[in-house]
Structure 1
Amino acid sequence: MASRPIRIAGRSLLLCASGSVSDRRHALAAFARAYPSDPVDVIISDYMSEVNMTIGAARKVDNKSLAADHGTPFVGAGPAYEAPFLEALEPALEDIAKYGIKVVANAGNTDTETLYNVVNDMIRRKKLGIKVAWISGDEVLPAINAALQAGTSPFKNIYTGEVLAGWQFKPIYAQAYLGGLGIAEALSQGAQIVICGRVADASPVIGAAFWFHRWQRSQLTELANAFIAGHLIECSCYVTGGNFSGFKSIETTAAGWVDIGYPIAEISKEGQVVITKQKGSGGAVTVDTCSAQLLYEIQGPWYFNSDVTAVLDQIWFEPLGPDRVAVHGVQALPPPPTTKVGLTARGGFQAEAMYFITGLDVAAKARMTEAQLRKSLQPYSDKFSLLSFSVLGAPAVDADSQNAATAVLRVFVQARQSADIAPQRFLRPIMDNVMQSYPGGTFHLDFRLGIPKPFFEYYVSLLPQSEVEHVVHLDGKDTAIPPPTLTHVFPERQPSQPSTALPIDLAKFGPTQRAPLGSVVHARSGDKGSDCNCGFWVRHADEYAWLRTLLSVDMVKLLLGKECVPRVEIERFELPNLRAVHFLFRNLLDRGATSTASVDFLGKNCAEYLRARHVDVPLKFLARGKL
């Protein structure tokens, strides 16, 4: 079996803060059904995000509390696992059993054992002989509390630098990011479906490749390549044309924009990686789509996992043919002795309301409304922890429709107690302002956003891997997974260059024109806690000499504009083989996706905002065609 590559199908089904599903559910069954013509060995389902981690944590704690009060399990708040996984799995089970396909899913969230029991019941009802395992060890709040009491760690926040004792919120749950070797052990013991909670996004691919090729922990290069393969496919269609700044080029492919296909990673025994996708599906796998996903979510040249550290500054992609791209240049170091841990706390409650502003003098109309509303809210605002006003969008010049001439004034509020932003203290004063408002004053009639809803604070620190009880559960047998014995301690901050070491006189590129940076530059951005990362890359070598000279930290501060508030720090590194420059914007997202006031709570629009900023672009680059 090890003489051929393992083929791993990747898909992602993420839940946003409102609980809506943000990926299609058909892929698991489609992969299983297509096995005779497009076989895969393992199907990976990645469900976890920092948003649904906090939601799952609250549900787990609330369900436990309510069960204790009532004497029986209470599920009114919803399951603490990701129920949509069951909708994806159920229609695939017969084909999974028929073809012997393995499935690894981190859909357990904070209640992995319960999901394991539900899946087993589903399999028994269908009378299928599928073995299921589950992984525990990610729940670590007791270990953190014990270490705090013993004084062995201050649990410094890796994003903000504060210590846990100084955090103004009380943790209700903590999850460590597990590696892939528990998954590998479960598969080696005969499990066909492995249910996980908070394993790192790429850990299912690491575990599957480790099991299939019978690797050892000392094979760091192979592990690092599997890690990057996992990173490339973990976000499903993000590597096949979704969330891609070159999306217009995909419209002309055979299947176009419709039904963009899910990715497949082929990983050889030697760790060689090829990324491809489902046959006959939409989208594309190209050097650019792979570059986009590679630059997404990384935070510097060192990419950490509990099993290995991948070093990225020499990575490059090779096109092998239509929708086939090979990965090269990944280097490896031992994993850190610690793993990331996310702590959830109840942050309070938030609400928002919107006014529509049309036509002329939008800025003045917004100022007028803000002044009026601040006065109306003044009797209550001393209890607000946050009150912000922002204008979303701008009317088109000489717009030919009223919608095109409309912007939105968003009023956002947070408070520690629900009563402090009850409708009579927030929504009612905003509605009652309309008669003294700007010309055309109109508020949004969907008042549901103005009703207080809970939000959560998220704190990220590090926990020694030796403190994690990583266990595989299968057929009544529990198998402990020991932490790595070979580790490497890394500096707190990654290497950073404020500007390129190889600058060039920008005048040498000839005449220029003020144009959007995105006319010739791709970009991709995303969130990690309160940080936002953003990678830029270009198509040609001379464009890269221009790009890495242009995009210094100082220039990017100018491009960020008003977004670059004093709390934001910027780190920068280059990936020359990708013709890319990567930036880490520390604290740009304030307290992170679950508590930030920004509408770009996942940081995904940061790249597109920066691509729209105007710079002096050489005319010869524009002559090659805009992206």
Structure 2
Amino acid sequence: MTLRIANCSGFYGDRLSAAREMVEGGPIDVLTGDWLAELTMMILAGNRLKGRPGYARTFLTQMEQVLGTCLDRGIKVVSNAGGLDPRACAEAVSELAGRLGLRASVAHVTGDDLMPLRGPVVDADTGETLAAAPITANAYLGGRPIAVALEHGADVVVTGRVTDAALVTGPGMWWHGWEPGDLDALAGSVVAGHIIECGCQATGGNYAFFGEVPDLAHCGFPIAELRADGSCVITKHPGTGGLVSVGTVTAQLLYEIGSPRYLGPDATARFDTIRLEQEGPDRVLVSGVRGEAPPATLKVAVNHLGGYRNTMTLVLTGLGVEDKARVAQEAVWARVPRESFDEVHVELTPMLPPAGGAGTALLRITVMDADKGKAGRAFSSAVVETGLAGYPGFYGLTPPGDASPYGVYTPSSVAADAVRAVVTVDGTRIEVPHVAAPGDEAPEPAGQEEPGRAGAGDAPAGGPVRPLGTVAGARSGDKGGNANLGVWVRTAEQYAWLSSFLTVDRLRELLPETGDLPIERFALPNLLALNFVVRGLLGRGVAASPLLDAQAKALGERLRAVAVPIPPFIDAPKNDIS
């Protein structure tokens, strides 16, 4: 029997009414919500240092709206809103239930918190050893502890750091009885979890062809109808805005991934085996997913305090923008020497002028230092002091202010059998030992093209020059200091051209910001897509990045805006549900 799993949150700060919308909008079996990201763990750490809860308090607001209805209808609730303190979050849910006159069995999952760490932290991307003292270190647990909690009668399961997909995989294990060796089914649920964990991004949100999406202002959240073999149908409640199409699902599948082998603690899902089919309006069948054994290690998110930062943004208008930027910087550094800071980042972002009007650019100056005083008002006031003695048309977007602390994220790993998850249900403590899946872990494949060695390809030359986005969609995001950029098209003919045209070297030409950074390219022909991983583009990750687009959210749209020669026989995209 199919398990209907609904999502009501893609990040800490998502639409508060979503839980009620999903519970009241139609039949569902499980309500899930993803509150955690790498940046969120740092935010929660800051809250905890200030004496505030180390969990996502908005989860309680949503539970107050729907808990009674969920208990009446037998809807299970599974959320990672526990953050750094799942026990306290579960206790708060139990207290809420008591105030509402409800009887709810609330479970929480622990074991992901590895603090205090034993031994050095090795950066999984660079191989470097972390010298700073971590303030958080959390292993990404899988779905098995969630399944155990549900098997023991939990109505609400609150976790700390689990994989985003575990919020779907865990209920799937409980409902369908999957064992560690059911790798294809588990991998299918991992894919389903990846599709719905970012909420409306699967139903038309942030979609490259947003003009096709009806009533985006009232976009419905996604539902995965999960079957016993791991296949699923992605849909949404009737009467809601948004769109579920092969295109919207493809876009989300390409979000924040690396190679086609998507590693997870329950299974490695082969994204190069996914098949998508439009079953009907707002219904996409996801099938064919093959699974492999999970790696012998778990990913670990480690955060430490990096120092203090401050950013001042100046507006440059009209003629001589680059000269004005130079004069502005000279005036600032004459007051506070550039070399006095640990780090300085300057970003000049030009903007297109209106028709017949003057162009505008933003000059962002960011300083970072271990000394809060140096990075604080001593810097920001120095920038403001140049206001009447600088370039013509001077004005700023940021008032003088103090420096703020920033964190640095480091991806690391730990042996899976060294982490012991614990489920607590109504006071009963249950250890969940690590069980290795049968089969050998396959080697991680290298990128299809080696950095710096990719040729220009044999794509057909000529054709009218037009934006790449008239043919291709894109979705981009961050993973620590790396950025991923997925690009897809809608026909086999378009893909044959894209895969030949968009090489690593071509990407460097179209996006000069990638410079000489290592780039990997992976082909996903079944999705008519390519995925690029640009290593180091975001420096030390979103919390420490001084970039305007610190999470590479707009990297794909910048690529789509670049004009390239597109052969005449490559048609513009057609609506994939027509």
2:22 corresponds, among 31, 42, 50, to: 31
1:388 corresponds, among 333, 342, 345, to: 345
C-alpha distance in structure 1 between counterparts of 2:364 and 2:254, whole Å: 31
Aligned to 2:175: 212
Aligned residue identity for 1:317: L
C-alpha distance in structure 1 between counterparts of 2:416 and 2:183, whole Å: 18
Aligned to 1:342: 301
2:51 matches 1:54 = no
**Structure 1 length-normalised TM:** 0.88
Aligned to 1:545: 496
Kindly state the Cα deviation for residue 515 of structure 1 after the two structures are TM-superposed: 1.7
C-alpha distance in structure 2 between counterparts of 1:138 and 1:58, whole Å: 19
Aligned to 1:67: none
Q: Is the 8 A contact 1:358 1:395 kept in 2?
A: no
Aligned residue identity for 1:384: F
C-alpha distance in structure 1 between counterparts of 2:572 and 2:85, whole Å: 55
2:478 matches 1:506 = no
Provide closer, same or farther for how the CA distance between residues 39 and 626 of structure 1 changes in structure 2, counting only shifts above 3 A: closer
Give the match's secondary structure for 2:543.
coil
Q: Matches of residues 570-609 of structure 1 in structure 2 within 5 Å?
A: 570-609=519-558
Q: Is the 8 A contact 1:559 1:613 kept in 2?
A: yes
Q: Is the 8 A contact 2:456 2:506 kept in 1?
A: no
Aligned to 1:83: 57
Aligned to 1:135: 109
Aligned to 2:402: 451
Kindly state the Cα deviation for residue 377 of structure 1 after the two structures are TM-superposed: 1.6
2:198 corresponds, among 227, 235, 254, to: 235
Identity, % of aligned positions: 37
Q: Matches of residues 120-269 of structure 1 in structure 2 within 5 Å?
A: 120-142=94-116, 144-145=117-118, 148=119, 155-163=121-129, 167-250=130-213, 253=214, 256-269=215-228
Q: RMSD over aligned Cα, in angstroms? A: 2.1
Aligned residue identity for 1:611: R
Q: Which whole-Å deviations, capped at 9, do the CAs of 1:285-342 have from their partners, x for residues lacking one?
A: 0000000000101111110111111011122200100000011231110111110001
C-alpha distance in structure 2 between counterparts of 1:128 and 1:493, whole Å: 51
Give the match's secondary structure for 1:370.
helix
Give the match's secondary structure for 1:618.
coil
Q: Is the 8 A contact 1:259 1:282 kept in 2?
A: yes
Aligned to 1:308: 267
C-alpha distance in structure 2 between counterparts of 1:270 and 1:491, whole Å: 25
C-alpha distance in structure 2 between counterparts of 1:470 and 1:433, whole Å: 56
Report the number of matched residues. 574
C-alpha distance in structure 2 between counterparts of 1:626 and 1:101, whole Å: 35
Provide closer, same or farther for how the CA distance between residues 483 and 495 of structure 1 changes in structure 2, counting only shifts above 3 A: farther
Q: Is the 8 A contact 1:519 1:626 kept in 2?
A: no
Q: Is the 8 A contact 2:457 2:501 kept in 1?
A: no
C-alpha distance in structure 2 between counterparts of 1:43 and 1:104, whole Å: 6
Aligned to 2:67: 93
Q: Which whole-Å deviations, capped at 9, do the CAs of 1:12-46 have from their partners, x for residues lacking one?
A: 2423xxxxx2x211111122223xxx210000010
Q: Matches of residues 486-505 of structure 1 in structure 2 within 5 Å?
A: 486=437, 488-489=440-441, 491=443, 494-498=446-450, 505=458
C-alpha distance in structure 2 between counterparts of 1:260 and 1:182, whole Å: 32
C-alpha distance in structure 2 between counterparts of 1:577 and 1:551, whole Å: 17
Kindly state the Cα deviation for residue 395 of structure 1 after the two structures are TM-superposed: 4.2
C-alpha distance in structure 1 between counterparts of 2:518 and 2:442, whole Å: 20
Aligned residue identity for 1:446: P
C-alpha distance in structure 2 between counterparts of 1:324 and 1:618, whole Å: 33
- Gapped runs of 5+ residues in structure 1? 16-20, 64-74, 149-153
Aligned to 2:514: 564
Kindly state the Cα deviation for residue 373 of structure 1 after the two structures are TM-superposed: 1.6
C-alpha distance in structure 1 between counterparts of 2:399 and 2:330, whole Å: 23
Q: Which moved more, 1:533-542 or 1:229-238?
A: 533-542
Kindly state the Cα deviation for residue 368 of structure 1 after the two structures are TM-superposed: 1.5
C-alpha distance in structure 2 between counterparts of 1:200 and 1:399, whole Å: 50
Q: Which moved more, 1:361-370 or 1:333-342?
A: 361-370
Provide closer, same or farther for how the CA distance between residues 376 and 492 of structure 1 changes in structure 2, counting only shifts above 3 A: farther
Aligned residue identity for 1:465: A
Kindly state the Cα deviation for residue 443 of structure 1 after the two structures are TM-superposed: 2.3
Aligned to 1:69: none
Aligned residue identity for 1:603: A
C-alpha distance in structure 1 between counterparts of 2:575 and 2:374, whole Å: 50
Kindly state the Cα deviation for residue 483 of structure 1 after the two structures are TM-superposed: 1.1
C-alpha distance in structure 1 between counterparts of 2:545 and 2:523, whole Å: 29
C-alpha distance in structure 1 between counterparts of 2:204 and 2:315, whole Å: 34
Q: Which whole-Å deviations, capped at 9, do the CAs of 1:253-298 have from their partners, x for residues lacking one?
A: 3xx2221010000111122211001111101000000000001011
Q: Which moved more, 1:182-191 or 1:599-608?
A: 599-608
C-alpha distance in structure 2 between counterparts of 1:399 and 1:105, whole Å: 52
2:30 corresponds, among 22, 26, 42, to: 42
C-alpha distance in structure 2 between counterparts of 1:121 and 1:372, whole Å: 57
Aligned residue identity for 1:431: V
Aligned residue identity for 2:501: L
Give the match's secondary structure for 2:316.
strand
1:406 corresponds, among 345, 360, 372, to: 360
C-alpha distance in structure 2 between counterparts of 1:626 and 1:396, whole Å: 31
Q: Is the 8 A contact 1:186 1:474 kept in 2?
A: yes
Aligned residue identity for 1:344: N
**Structure 2 length-normalised TM:** 0.95
2:5 matches 1:8 = yes
Kindly state the Cα deviation for residue 493 of structure 1 after the two structures are TM-superposed: 6.2
C-alpha distance in structure 1 between counterparts of 2:179 and 2:288, whole Å: 21
C-alpha distance in structure 1 between counterparts of 2:352 and 2:474, whole Å: 26
Q: Which whole-Å deviations, capped at 9, do the CAs of 1:110-147 have from their partners, x for residues lacking one?
A: 011111111100001111121100000110123x31xx
Give the match's secondary structure for 2:272.
coil
Aligned residue identity for 1:191: A
Give the match's secondary structure for 2:367.
strand
Aligned residue identity for 2:45: A
C-alpha distance in structure 2 between counterparts of 1:626 and 1:294, whole Å: 18
Aligned residue identity for 2:2: P
Aligned to 2:311: 352
Aligned residue identity for 1:28: A
C-alpha distance in structure 2 between counterparts of 1:513 and 1:626, whole Å: 22
2:280 corresponds, among 321, 339, 346, to: 321
- Gapped runs of 5+ residues in structure 2? none
Aligned to 1:118: 92
Q: Is the 8 A contact 1:57 1:80 kept in 2?
A: yes
